[in-house]
DNA sequence: TGTTTATTGTCTAGTTGTATAGATAAATAG
DNA sequence: CTATTTATCTATACAACTAGACAATAAACA
């Protein structure tokens, strides 16, 4: 029924974390559907050959993550862990996409700076020199961090984008303030990698977690690139769907 | 010079392990060539904002792994960490391949059992029913575990393969004992994934490590499949090269 | 040459985290 | 009422991390 369970002692990785990762893996792999009951703590303790308290540490971590839900006297259950779906199409707006799936989304400015346009950023924005504004931000859905993003804009085109974004928490609103009433998604590239240290902090992940990386170019209605952005989504909490006219 | 360094406290992953993983990552990513000197312990301690003893734990782990080498009064250096290359061609023999790179290789029988031929195994071996012998083994190079493998054989074709392999530690020898003097590699598929618990044990890896998975079919000189094998290589210690007439 | 400086190695000590063991309470289902 | 299951508590042992001091080695310098 369950795959062989081994843990490595004295590896620098706590046993409770190894167990938590295995259980989370089983759940996200679909071995345990939403609502399914976990074996009781004593059974798990025997199966992993550890103390019951160690199992409880693992369960506590997953409960805090929202993956499990423990009910005294009844058992421990797989929480409603439906992933959010980030559907990418020609008109892709963070808050609109999630509006039907969560109660509230928020964009938080983490930092910004001016950089010289160079390399892939310059290429994506169609710039030959000049300066770009870089904005680092993160997004929450119902209070849970779901993504963090780095976006680059042509500094000449949208000089006040930082302040506008800080106030509104929305790229769409910040661009509108710069006279760009509408924009379209021109291209999206999706990759996956281990979360780096910064992702871990902002998305509240544990080391070894996986992030989906979406690299996108948005253009104005004349087709001129206005934003180049790289977003990292916690792969545990989010999946990405590509709409129609397959855009890559 | 060095990418931003963050560590996550109280994550269930010891700080020394997080630091060791980052340093090892820098080295295998080529940021620190073989022989390069690491910054002194006090500098690293400041950079990671941890105690010097914690840095020493990370360095000790990497020294034990053979990745670093510390010299009192001089500094800590990147050891000669050249990966072994597993070159796959039509004539692929584990011991022959590594013969020029290491002093000594060994095959160790971990376990075996009889299974009903089914699914991908039956398909690969061209069997419609009957039984297969499954052998789990691991390989060491100069005493260091470098791979573990699961191989399936048609039980009717090589009935004594287990005993022959146990004695010789060599598939080539075991097949010869069954009258198969020579064999060829027909196909190889290579993938990568996180090491599972069994890989961790046998290859002495730490949780989160990555393994290269090679799935291969060997055929006799008449082209009949005789072995279907899935080998897992520690991606830290081994890389795979594909020879000529690109076979996939 | 001897001296200073930079670096790794070793030691003691205290705090917090991790894992074990055992006992008991509280809630649920039958 | 009873059996099952999660929740709490005490206690012990060891690992992990911090802090500070000093020894040992190597290289650079006067």
Nucleotide showing the shortest C1' distance to residue B56 CA: C8
Residue A198: its chain B contacts at CB < 8 A? 4, 6
Query: Which of B7, B11, B22, B62 should one mutate to test binding to chain A, selecting the residue with the greatest count of A CBs within 10 A?
Result: B11
Collapse the DSSP code of A138 into the 3-class scheme (helix H, G, I; strand E, B; otherwise coil) and give the result. strand
Query: Which of A3, A8, A10, A12 should one mutate to test binding to chain B, selecting the residue with the greatest count of B CBs within 10 A?
Result: A12
Confidence of residue B241 (pLDDT cuts 50, 70, 90): low
Nucleotide showing the shortest C1' distance to residue A55 CA: C19
Give residue A191's pLDDT.
65
- How far is A26 from chain B, CA to nearest CA, in Å? 12
Residue B200: its chain A contacts at CB < 8 A? 6, 8
Tens-binned pLDDT, residue by residue, of chain A (248 aa): 444 467 888 888 899 998 998 888 788 767 888 888 999 999 999 999 999 999 999 999 888 877 898 988 899 999 866 667 777 667 677 777 776 677 778 888 999 999 999 888 999 999 998 999 999 999 988 777 889 999 999 999 999 999 999 988 888 899 999 999 888 888 877 666 667 778 878 887 766 566 777 888 889 989 899 999 999 988 777 777 664 343 33
Give residue A77's pLDDT.
92
CB contact (8 A) between residue A6 and residue B208: no
- How far is B234 from chain A, CA to nearest CA, in Å? 16
Closest-approach residue (CA) in chain A for B194: A208
DSSP run (H or E) holding B125 = helix B119-125
Of B240, B129, B242, the closest CA to residue B192 belongs to B240
Residues 164-223 of A with CB under 8 A from B: 197-198, 200-201, 206-208
Model pLDDT for residues B202-231, shown as the tens digit of each residue: 887 766 566 777 888 889 999 899 999 999
Confidence of residue B42 (pLDDT cuts 50, 70, 90): very high
Domain ranges of chain B: 15-78, 84-242
Does B150 contact chain A (CB < 8 Å)?
A: no
Q: Write out the CATH class of domain B84-242.
A: alpha beta
Question: Is residue B247 pLDDT above 50, yes or no?
Answer: no
- In A75-204, beta strands by DSSP E: 75-78, 84-88, 105-116, 131-141, 144-154, 183-194
- Residues B113-138, mean pLDDT to the nearest whole number: 93
Give residue A244's pLDDT.
39
CB A16 within 8 A of CB A44: no
Collapse the DSSP code of B243 into the 3-class scheme (helix H, G, I; strand E, B; otherwise coil) and give the result. coil
Distance of CA B134 to the CA centre of its chain: 19
Question: Is residue B4 pLDDT above 50, yes or no?
Answer: no
- CATH architecture of the domain B15-78 equals Orthogonal Bundle (1.10)
CB contact (8 A) between residue A206 and residue B11: yes
- Residues B99-111, mean pLDDT to the nearest whole number: 79
CB B106 within 8 A of CB B169: yes
Of B101, B46, B37, the closest CA to residue B75 belongs to B37
- How far is B57 from chain A, CA to nearest CA, in Å? 10
């Amino acid at each position: 029924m369950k795959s062989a369970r081994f843990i490595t002692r004295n590896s620098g990785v706590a046993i409770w974390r190894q167990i938590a990762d295995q259980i989370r893996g089983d759940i996200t792999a679909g071995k345990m559907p939403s609502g399914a009951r976990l074996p009781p703590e004593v059974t798990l303790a025997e199966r992993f050959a550890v103390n019951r308290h160690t199992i409880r540490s693992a369960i506590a971590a997953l409960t805090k993550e929202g993956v499990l839900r423990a009910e005294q006297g009844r058992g421990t259950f797989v929480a409603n862990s439906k992933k959010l779906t980030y559907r990418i199409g020609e008109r892709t707006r963070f808050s609109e996409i999630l509006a039907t799936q969560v109660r509230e989304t928020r964009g938080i400015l983490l930092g910004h700076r001016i950089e010289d346009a160079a390399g892939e950023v310059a290429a994506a924005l169609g710039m030959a020199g000049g300066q770009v504004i870089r904005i680092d931000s993160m997004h929450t859905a119902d209070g849970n961090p779901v993504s963090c993003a780095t976006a680059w804009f042509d500094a000449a085109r949208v000089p006040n984008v930082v302040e506008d974004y800080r106030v509104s928490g929305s790229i769409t609103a910040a661009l509108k303030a710069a006279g760009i009433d509408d924009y379209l998604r021109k291209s999206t590239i999706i990759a996956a990698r281990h979360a780096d240290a910064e992702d871990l902090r902002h998305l509240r992940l544990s080391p070894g977690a996986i992030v989906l990386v979406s690299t996108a170019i948005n253009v104005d209605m004349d087709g001129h690139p206005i934003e180049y952005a790289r977003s990292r989504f916690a792969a545990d909490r989010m999946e990405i769907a590509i709409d129609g006219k397959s855009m890559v």
